[in-house]
Amino acid sequence: MILSPKQMEFVANANHRYNVKTGATRSGKSYMDNLYTIPSRIRERQGKDGLNALIGVSKGTIERNILQPMREIYGQRIVGEIGSDNIVDLFGDSAYCLGAEKVSQVAKLRGSSLKYVYGDEVAEWNQQVFELLKSRMDKSYSCFDGACNPDNPNHWFKKFLDSDADIYCQKYTIFDNPYLPPEFVENLCNEYKGTVYYDRYIRGLWVAAEGAVYRLFNDAQAQIINPFKLTEKPKSLMEINIGVDFGGNGSGHAFVATGYGRGYTNIIALASEWIDCSKNDIDPEKLGQLFVDFCLKVLNVYGYITQVNCDSAEKTLIAGLRSTARKSGLGWLRISDALKTEVNDRIRFTQRMMGQGRFFYVPELCKSLELALCGALWDPDELTKDKRLDDGTSDIDSLDAFEYGFERDISRFIRYE
């Protein structure tokens, strides 16, 4: 068992009621827990009164982040599978496996006494879940171990870590893991540079999301522009998707075409358009014609369209787009609902692609998207969570439309990486 100096420090000092590791991603926090912390805590308490519990964002993350890695180390006989009763056989004892995304799930432990709790990705939990667990750790030997990446400095878990409770908190940077290949560390640093996530996931700091959302785009537009000539239909694209966001009072309708590099190597913003709803009398018929005009422009320049993903909240307007497309000879267009995944997941992906040099755009045809990316800000009034400012001062519509074009395939781009 080879441990880094930081991990050996944890073994020597993690003898408090709450023992928490915070800091950079891939810094050795979870590996240490799977290899040593969880097995030793459970064996120390074997035969004692109380329950063991493994709590994660969901049961799926518990399996992926905790049980599967431990199974690879210790084998199936020692680390079992989660049963229908949410219990897993573990190192000669058993443990409840519950997701912290719903308070009702962890409330199943209400009335039970907990002798050991392990918490995965604690900063992603509902605070009520943590408070409930604290109240059930009622034995003199009850113990909580946990790990998380930092969030904003006003986060409820950060406030707990700064309290006078019996806590041992160890902080990691990515450079505390000496077993990572240097080229991997360099690539990860480049991936997060220019974003709040560099301070959080590389330096392990609890910092606020403030200022420009896409700081790297603002600083390096000249390095991420169009990789091919508009006079030639690109042969390097395998998909072209159009995202559509519908506006209302104080906002606008937005269309953005996004191309995928072959093998999911990169994304390229190909064309964008934003229509101000407050200054134009845009009825559904007019909107349908504007949409068709945009599609024809994309077809004329790039040759094809794979599919169209629309804001799923506006079913009537989507039906209008389909009708106008049919009447205009574009009935073959696949016009579907956008997934509308978590906004911050979409933001992190875009920042990641920029940091890796895998995002490009065509400035001649993407003026509205360019302005939207440059003008996107974190909301200064939302100090307890990361939230993109949406008060009408920046073009959120174009950003949403852009993200609808690629959100279905984020996992494919990450797998390629």
Provide mean pLDDT across the span 195-205.
86
Structure tokens at 336: 């579907």
- Beta bridge partners, 257, equal 242, 271
- Alpha helices (H) in 303-358, listed in sequence order: 315-327, 343-355
pLDDT at 375: 84
- In this predicted structure, the answer to whether residue 412 has a pLDDT above a threshold of 80 is yes
Q: Is the pLDDT of residue 218 over 80?
A: no
Q: In the predicted model, is pLDDT for residue 232 greater than 60?
A: no
The residue with tokens 């994309």 is 298
Reported as a single tens digit per residue, the pLDDT across 260-285 is 999 999 999 999 999 988 766 778 88
Give the type of residue at 78: I
Sign of the four-CA dihedral 399, 410, 259, 320: negative
Per the DSSP assignment, residues forming a β-bridge with 388 are 378
Cα–Cα–Cα angle for 96, 101, 102, rounded to 5 degrees: 80
Q: Which residue has the tokens 């267009």?
A: 333
Residues of the chain with CATH 3.30.420.280: 215-416
Q: Where in the chain is the domain with CATH 3.40.50.300?
A: 5-179
Mean pLDDT to the nearest integer, 117-136: 92
CB atoms within 10 A of CB 156: 16
Q: Tell me which DSSP letter residue 78 carries.
A: T
**CA–CA separation, 388 vs 258, rounded Å?**
21
Q: What is the DSSP code (8-state) at residue 79? A: B
pTM exceeds cut of 0.75: no
For domain 5-179, which CATH number applies: 1.20.120.530, 3.40.50.300, 1.10.10.10, 3.30.590.10? 3.40.50.300
For 215-416, CATH gives 3.30.420.280
* Mean pLDDT of all residues in 52-57: 94
At residue 110 the predicted structure's pLDDT band, cuts being 50, 70 and 90, is confident
Q: Is the pLDDT of residue 230 over 70?
A: no
For residue 229, what pLDDT is reported? 59
Look at residue 347 and tell me whether its pLDDT is greater than 70.
Answer: yes
CA distances from 16 to 10, 117, 158, 174 (A): 11, 13, 17, 25
CB 88 within 8 A of CB 81: yes
| pLDDT score at 219 | 66
Question: Per mean pLDDT, which range of 9-18, 83-92, 249-258, 263-272 is the poorest?
Answer: 249-258
Share of the chain above pLDDT 90, in %: 60
Span 302-323, mean pLDDT?
Answer: 93
Flag whether pLDDT at 34 surpasses 70: yes
C-alpha dist (Å) from residue 75 to 20, 69, 110, 127, 175: 26, 10, 32, 34, 30
- Separation CA 192–CA 171 (nearest Å): 19
CA–CA separation, 292 and 175 (whole Å): 52
From start to end of 233-306, where are the E strands? 237-245, 252-261, 267-276
pLDDT tens digits, one per residue of 348-396? 999 989 888 899 999 889 999 998 998 888 888 776 778 898 888 789 9
The confidence score (pLDDT) of residue 104 equals 77
